[in-house]
Amino acid sequence: MLLDGRRPDDVARAADLLVRGDLVAFPTETVYGLGANAADDVAVAKIFAAKGRPADHPLIVHVAAGAAADAAVAAFADRVPDAARRLMQAFWPGPLTLILPRRAGVGTASAGGQDSIGLRCPSHPVAQALLGECARQGVHGVSGPSANRFGRVSPTTAAHVQAEFGDSVAVLDGGPCDVGIESAIVDCTRAAPVLLRPGVLTRAQIEAALGRPLVADEAAGGEAPRASGTLESHYAPSARVRLMDARSLQAALDVLGEDAAHIAVWSRALLRSRSGKIIRRRMPDDAQAVAQQLFAVLREFDEQGVKLIWIETLPGTPEWEGVADRLRRAAA
């Protein structure tokens, strides 16, 4: 079932499905999420079953903005450290997930059994309309991992979700996602805040909001919580991904010559090939544009039946950290 996020009646219908314990895929500014009532462990179990996701791999709980966010945080979090409050004020709604100490007895399945829980307030207007309607019906949070099979390429359009799940999941269509990669995740449960997963928000932006540096995992003290999207191999297409610098890409194409086939190349450099069977796509020079296109490009290459995807390595500057993280895991 495809629902139109521009229609209030369809948004209300999607909320009704979530309230009664069904799954609904919904758009955020980052990627599409596969949603269930975060406080309903039976409903959340349907997410794990649909994705083929291990039940101890925690989910991110999405909450509405404003007063509804305050109510949701109070419902799910045992306490809110000062660092988390600073980041909420700076970046919510937006592409930032905060790991907080979990209130006992709430969201156990969503948290993967941990005593911490990830909360996020997305900025997408359709997500906010849906979450606001859920909040009015007493559902304070919607668990929403990416709406794809576990470990595969995340979806950034409603069509991507339908390609993953067919007609088995209702999809609320909000158009293509603007950001294109998942949120940054900051752990606020330990002595000092730690960046567990980078996103389009840079370390510098997060540190400026905190008024202090982020610390390395090993220096933070205590045990690091498990978090979404941090497995070594993740975000992977069916084709094998290899990262190479422009010189190595050109050398490989020269060696293969006219025999090169079943290969897709995504690069900023203009490369030459004597083969007419190579699929080539130009990568933007801007990090945010690459992030927005990344998962759609990987899916497009898969759909064209290539066996290998060669991608030019990214610049090492801070704004590329989130995209570089996703590509490294896709190639693992």
18 φ, ψ (degrees, to nearest 5):
-65, -40
pLDDT band, residue 98 (cuts 50/70/90): very high
Query: Which residue reads 């449960």 in tokens?
Result: 189
The pLDDT of residue 50: 95
> What is the per-residue pLDDT across 195-228, written as a single tens digit (0 to 9) for each?
999 999 999 999 999 999 998 877 677 777 888 8
- Nearest by Cα to 119 from 144, 94, 99, 147: 99
Token pair listed for 306: 């290539």
The pLDDT of residue 260: 81
211 φ, ψ (degrees, to nearest 5):
75, 20
The pLDDT of residue 185: 96
The pLDDT of residue 11: 98
- Could you count the other beta carbons within 10 Å of the beta carbon of residue 74? 12
Token pair listed for 157: 């359009």
- Rounded to the nearest integer, the mean pLDDT of the chain is 94
In b/e form, how buried is each residue of 88-103, taking b as 16+ CB within 10 angstroms?
beebbbbbbbbbbbbb
CB 87 within 8 A of CB 206: yes
Q: Are strands 279-282 and 142-143 parallel, antiparallel or unpaired?
A: unpaired
pLDDT band, residue 319 (cuts 50/70/90): very high
Report the DSSP beta bridge partners of residue 98: 119, 186
The pLDDT of residue 318: 94
The pLDDT of residue 220: 72
The pLDDT of residue 54: 87
- Give, as one character, the DSSP assignment of residue 107: S
Residue 317 has pLDDT above 80, yes or no: yes
**109 contact partners, CB below 8 Å, separation of at least 6:** 41, 44, 45, 48, 55
* Full set of structural domains in the chain with CATH: 2-219 (3.90.870.10), 240-331 (3.40.50.11030)
Residue 7 has pLDDT above 90, yes or no: yes
> What is the per-residue pLDDT across 169-186, written as a single tens digit (0 to 9) for each?
999 999 999 999 999 999
Share above pLDDT 90 across residues of the chain, in percent, rounded to a whole number:
87
> What is the per-residue pLDDT across 25-38, written as a single tens digit (0 to 9) for each?
999 999 999 999 99
DSSP line for 294-310: HHHHHHHHHHTT-SEEE
pLDDT band, residue 85 (cuts 50/70/90): very high
197: helix, strand or coil: strand
Alpha-carbon gap, residue 138 to 309, rounded angstroms: 46
Q: Indicate if the alpha-carbon torsion angle 118, 327, 331, 29 is positive or negative.
A: positive
Distances (CA, A) of 86 to 90, 172, 285, 324: 6, 32, 32, 27
Q: The whole model's pTM is what?
A: 0.93
